Amino acid sequence: MVEDSAALLGIAIAGVGIFLSNQTGNTIYDSISSLSIGAILMAFAFFLAKENKGLLIGEAISRKDYKKIVRLIKEIPEVNKIITIRTMHLAPQDVLVTIEVNLIDGLDTDKIERVIDNIEQKVKQAIPYVNPAKVFVELERDRISDLYKRKRPK
For the cut 70, the answer to whether the pLDDT of residue 142 exceeds it is no
Q: C-alpha angle with apex 91: 75 to 114, nearest 5 degrees?
A: 30
| Contacting residues for 65 by C-beta, under 8 A, at least 6 apart | 126, 127
Provide the pLDDT for residue 91.
Answer: 78
Q: Are the C-beta atoms of residues 13 and 37 closer than 8 Å to each other?
A: yes
Looking at 25-154, list the stretches that DSSP marks H as alpha helix, in order from N- to C-terminal side: 28-57, 63-74, 109-126, 143-151
Residue 107's pLDDT band, with cuts at 50, 70 and 90, is: confident
For the cut 70, the answer to whether the pLDDT of residue 123 exceeds it is yes
Mean of the per-residue pLDDT values of the chain: 85
